[in-house]
Structure formats: C-alpha cells, structure tokens
Structure 1
C-alpha cells in the first residue's frame, strides 16, 4: 500500500475490517448457510486481488518461492485465527428455540491481532518481491479464509445445541 493509492487502500481496509468486526459484535441468529454474500464478496475480491498481485509482481520481477510460501503461511494463519475466534463467540438458544451468536471482546481483539499479523506478513511479502502489492491485495483472501473458518466452526457449535 504505497503512495496515493496506498492511502485509499488503507481507508478501504479500515472500513472493511470495521464492518466485519461490527457484524461480529451484533447479536444475530446462526443460519445454516450463514452470510454467504459477504463471504462470497470477500472471496471474489481475494482471488481477484491475489491474482492481480501475482501478475503485478511477475510483470517486472521473477516470483520466487519465498513470497509464495509467505502467502500460503498467511492464509494458514487466517484459518488458525478463525479457529481460535470461533471459540470466543457466544452461542445460546434464544426465544422460540432460535440459536443466536454474538462475538465478545476477545473476538474483537483476535480480529485486530489477525489483521495486524496479516499486515506484517504482507509487508514481508512485498519486501521480498520488491513490489508493494501482493501482500496488500491478499487481505481479502485472508479475511475470507479467516471468516469462513470461523463461521463454519460457529455453525458446527450451534448445531450441537
């Protein structure tokens, strides 16, 4: 995230992460399918952004193994944070038997830590590629994997009620 575009990208990052966290802190029903629209949008942006990032790197530089490994590690970390966050979400049976969910302060803290870890890995990826784009644009894939993992496990816990 460099230059003028970097400022806009940072604002978009803050807005997207803020919306994800806000949604996590709302009391809402656990749905069988979950909110596939938001997850799908993040997934599409993640695939498109990561593909754009790779193309931007290979346009002027060789893509070596290290940034690819770091990207895979980053996405694995996203899933790991999703597993841990899922355990912090409160799940209970509400009126009329509806299963409800709500994130906690720990959920928020883990979201912020998760984004911080991704930003650090993203800077490392961009440093080793010599092009400041792949680490930054992979954020949406990171969010989609982390949120998808978390939602899958929350739904699994809710089904056990």
Structure 2
C-alpha cells in the first residue's frame, strides 16, 4: 500500500470513528474491536515501521507513540457518556470532551512526526494506522469495562 493510500485510509477511519462516537449507539463490545484490529493489521502489513538509518530513535518514537495512543484511548473512553434506557439497553455517546481528546490525539501524532523529522527519522504512515487502531481498541475496551461495571451495579451512573 502506498503512503498516500494509507494516509487517506487513516483519515477515513478517523472521520468514521469520530462520527460514530458522536452518535448515540448501543454498547456492543464484540463489533467495537473489528475495525480497529483490521486497521492495526493493515498498518503492520504495510511494514517500514522502523527507519533503519535511525533504528533506536524509530523504535523509541514508535513505542512512545503507541503508549500515548493507548493513553488517549483511555481518556476518550472516560469522556463518553454511558447510560441505560428504559428497556435496559446500554448506550454510549461521545461528548465535547471526546472531540477535544481526538484533537489531542491528532496533535500528539503530529508532535511525534515533528520530533522524528527534526532528528532525521521518518515515521511511516503504517505507524499512524497502528496508533489509530490501538487507540480505538483501548477506547472500546475501557468503554466495555465501564458498561460492565454499570451493568453489574444498576444504581451506578457512569
């Protein structure tokens, strides 16, 4: 997959993720992992995740980027509103803070690219797919956890 196609795919996934998170949707843990896992696999299969000329720096930047992506997934999960309707179905919906957390994730990604570029290391688009996918997987897992906690104790308003 070429760089342009990977970048377009990442933007499309990001737009879809934000759009879906800002709409009220039932909490469904199983399906929430499908697209992010596919995105991670595409990012890994794209290869070239490490700049061989700056291997140590590339590995450090990739690791830091993935940690930040996971952390921002946790943050976004806690910005989501979760509630139970009259029939007992659990729902979730993003808030304004969810958008702010997405903006922080985008800024963080640009920050990693800027640091890598300033040091002469190239961050490939495969890493953005992995960053995005991992962030979405972590977010889905934490939203699922919050829903399970709410499900096990109906008096709790998460």
What CA distance in whole angstroms lies between the structure 1 residues aligned with 2:4 and 2:48?
19
Give 3-state SS (helix, strand or coil) of 2:83's partner: strand
Question: What is the RMSD of the two structures over their aligned residues, measured on CA atoms?
Answer: 2.1
Kept in 2, the 8 Å contact 1:124–1:135? The answer is no
Please say if 1:156 is aligned against 2:145.
yes
Unaligned runs of 5+ in 2: 151-158
Deviation at 1:83, TM superposition (A): 1.1
Q: TM-score, normalised by structure 1?
A: 0.81
Unaligned runs of 5+ in 1: none
What CA distance in whole angstroms lies between the structure 1 residues aligned with 2:126 and 2:66?
13
Choose from 22, 27, 34 the match for 1:37.
34
1:46 aligns with: 43
Report 1:5-154 matches (<5 A).
10-49=7-46, 51-54=47-50, 57-58=51-52, 62-130=53-121, 132=122, 134-154=123-143
Kept in 2, the 8 Å contact 1:67–1:129? The answer is no
Greater helix proportion:
1
Kept in 1, the 8 Å contact 2:10–2:129? The answer is no
After the TM superposition, which of the residue ranges 36-45 and 150-159 deviates more from structure 2? Answer: 36-45
Deviation at 1:144, TM superposition (A): 1.2
Give 3-state SS (helix, strand or coil) of 2:91's partner: strand
Q: 1:117/1:47 Cα in 2 relative to 1: closer, same or farther (>3 Å)?
A: same
Q: 1:38/1:155 Cα in 2 relative to 1: closer, same or farther (>3 Å)?
A: same
Kept in 2, the 8 Å contact 1:28–1:100? The answer is yes
Aligned length, in residue pairs:
149
